[in-house]
Amino acid sequence: MASTSVKFAGGAAATLEPDDIIRDYRVAYRSRQVSLLARGEVMLGRAMFGIFGDGKEVAQVALARVFEAGDVRSGYYRDQTLMFALGLLDVRQFFAQLYAHTDLAADPASGGRGMNAHFATRMVDESGRFKDLTASAHSSADASPTGSQMPRLLGLAYASKLYRNLPELHDLTEFSHEGNEIAFGTIGNASCAEGVFWEAVNAAGVLQVPMLLSVWDDGYGISVPNELQVTKGNIGTLLQGFRRTPDAPGYELATVSGWDYPALLETYQRTARIVRTEHVPAVVHVIELTQPQGHSTSGSHERYKTKERLKWEKERDGLVRMRAWMIEQELATEAELDALEEEESNHVRDERDAAWNAYEQPIRDEATAVSALIGELAEAAGEGADAVRALQAELSKRRDPLRRDVTMAARRALYAVRGTGGSAATGVQRWLDEQKPIDRDRYHAHLHDESETSALRVPAVAPVYDDSSIEVDAYKVLNAAFDKALARDPRVIAFGEDVGKLGDVNQGFVDLQAKYGELRVGDAGIREATIVGQAIGMAMRGLRPIAEIQYLDYLLYALQVMSDDLATLRYRTRNGQMAPVIVRTRGHRLVGVWHSGSPLGMMIHALRGMYIAVPRDMTRAAGFYNTLLQSGDPGIVVEVLNAYRLKEKLPANIGEVTTPFGVVDVMREGRDVTIVTYGASCAIALEAAKLLEGAGIDVELIDAQSLLPFDLEGRIAESLKKTNRVLFLDEDVPGGSSSYMMQQVLERQGGFHWLDATPRTLTGAAHRPAYGRDGDYWSKPSVEDVYDAVVDLMKE
Ligand SMILES: Cc1ncc(C[n+]2csc(CCOP(=O)(O)OP(=O)(O)O)c2C)c(N)n1
The whole-number pLDDT of residue 12 equals 39
CA distance 441 to 427: 22
**What atom of ligand 1 comes closest to residue 295's alpha carbon?**
19
Q: Residue 777, Cβ neighbours under 10 Å: how many? A: 15
Across 19-46, b (16+ Cβ under 10 Å) vs e yields eebbebbbbbbbbbbbbebbbebbeeeb
**What atom of ligand 1 comes closest to residue 216's alpha carbon?**
21
Share of the chain above pLDDT 90, in %: 96
The whole-number pLDDT of residue 11 equals 45
Ligand 1 near 295 CB (within 6 A): yes
The whole-number pLDDT of residue 769 equals 93
CA atoms within 13 A on the CB side of 371: 17
Please tell me the residue having the least CA distance from ligand 1 atom 11.
221
pLDDT digits (tens, 9 = 90+) for 227-277: 999 999 999 999 999 999 999 999 999 999 999 999 999 999 999 999 999
Ligand 1 near 222 CB (within 6 A): yes
Average pLDDT over residues 168-174: 98
Please tell me the residue having the least CA distance from ligand 1 atom 20.
221
Phi and psi at 317, nearest 5°, equal -60, 120
Confidence of residue 146 (pLDDT cuts 50, 70, 90): very high
Ligand 1 near 705 CB (within 6 A): no
Higher-confidence residue of 299 and 658: namely 658
Q: Residue 719 pLDDT more than 80? A: yes
Q: Residue 10 pLDDT more than 80? A: no
3-state secondary structure labels for all residues of 564-631? HHHCCHHHHCCCCCCCCCEEEEEECCCCCCCCCCCCHHHHHHHCECEEEECCCCHHHHHHHHHHHHCC
Confidence of residue 541 (pLDDT cuts 50, 70, 90): very high
Ligand 1 near 218 CB (within 6 A): yes
pLDDT digits (tens, 9 = 90+) for 408-458: 999 999 999 999 999 999 999 999 999 999 999 999 999 999 999 999 999
DSSP assignment of 16-60: E-HHHHHHHHHHHHHHHHHHHHHHHHHHHTSSS-----TT-HHHH
Average pLDDT over residues 637-644: 94
pLDDT digits (tens, 9 = 90+) for 337-348: 999 999 999 999
Interior CA angle at 103 toward 439 and 71, to 5°? 125
Ligand 1 near 224 CB (within 6 A): no
- Catalytic, 595? Answer yes
The whole-number pLDDT of residue 747 equals 98
The whole-number pLDDT of residue 25 equals 98
The whole-number pLDDT of residue 597 equals 83
The whole-number pLDDT of residue 529 equals 98
pLDDT digits (tens, 9 = 90+) for 463-519: 999 998 999 999 999 999 999 999 999 999 999 999 999 999 999 999 999 999 999
**What atom of ligand 1 comes closest to residue 146's alpha carbon?**
26
Q: How far is the CA of 146 from the centre of ligand 1 (A)?
A: 5
* 3-state DSSP helix/strand/coil % of the chain, to nearest 5: 45, 15, 40
- Identity at 750, one-letter amino acid code: G
User: Which of the following is catalytic: 279, 595, 753, 767?
Assistant: 595
Short-list 498, 528, 494, CA closest to 196: 528
Q: Residue 233, Cβ neighbours under 10 Å: how many? A: 14
Mutation test residue for ligand 1: of 146, 293, 301, the one with most atoms within 8 Å of CB = 146
The whole-number pLDDT of residue 224 equals 97
**What atom of ligand 1 comes closest to residue 192's alpha carbon?**
15
**What atom of ligand 1 comes closest to residue 194's alpha carbon?**
1
Average pLDDT over residues 520-524: 98
Average pLDDT over residues 109-129: 96
The whole-number pLDDT of residue 15 equals 75
Mutation test residue for ligand 1: of 186, 222, 229, the one with most atoms within 8 Å of CB = 222
Q: Residue 590 pLDDT more than 80? A: no
**What atom of ligand 1 comes closest to residue 217's alpha carbon?**
16
The whole-number pLDDT of residue 4 equals 45
User: H/E element holding 235?
Assistant: helix 235-238
Ligand 1 near 145 CB (within 6 A): yes
pLDDT digits (tens, 9 = 90+) for 18-54: 999 999 999 999 999 999 999 999 999 999 999 999 9
The whole-number pLDDT of residue 14 equals 52
Q: How far is the CA of 190 from the centre of ligand 1 (A)?
A: 7
Short-list 400, 402, 418, 412, CA closest to 373: 412
The whole-number pLDDT of residue 1 equals 37
Q: How far is the CA of 116 from the centre of ligand 1 (A)?
A: 14
Average pLDDT over residues 132-153: 98
Ligand 1 near 190 CB (within 6 A): yes
pLDDT digits (tens, 9 = 90+) for 593-604: 988 889 999 999
Q: Residue 13 pLDDT more than 50? A: no
The whole-number pLDDT of residue 5 equals 55
Ligand 1 near 225 CB (within 6 A): no
Number of H helices, E strands in the chain: 26, 24
Ligand 1 near 191 CB (within 6 A): yes
Strands 544-549 and 582-587: parallel
Ligand 1 near 653 CB (within 6 A): no
3-state secondary structure labels for all residues of 106-155? CCCCCCCCCCCCCCCCCCECCCCCECCCCCCCEECCCCCCCCCHHHHHHH
pLDDT digits (tens, 9 = 90+) for 57-84: 999 999 999 999 999 999 999 999 999 9
As a dihedral over the C-alpha atoms of residue 473, residue 474, residue 476, residue 477, rounded to 10 degrees, the angle is 140
Q: How far is the CA of 225 from the centre of ligand 1 (A)?
A: 12
The whole-number pLDDT of residue 591 equals 81
Please tell me the residue having the least CA distance from ligand 1 atom 13.
221
Short-list 92, 24, 34, CA closest to 58: 24
CA distance 670 to 404: 50
The whole-number pLDDT of residue 7 equals 56
| Averaged pLDDT of the chain | 96
pTM score, two decimals?
0.97
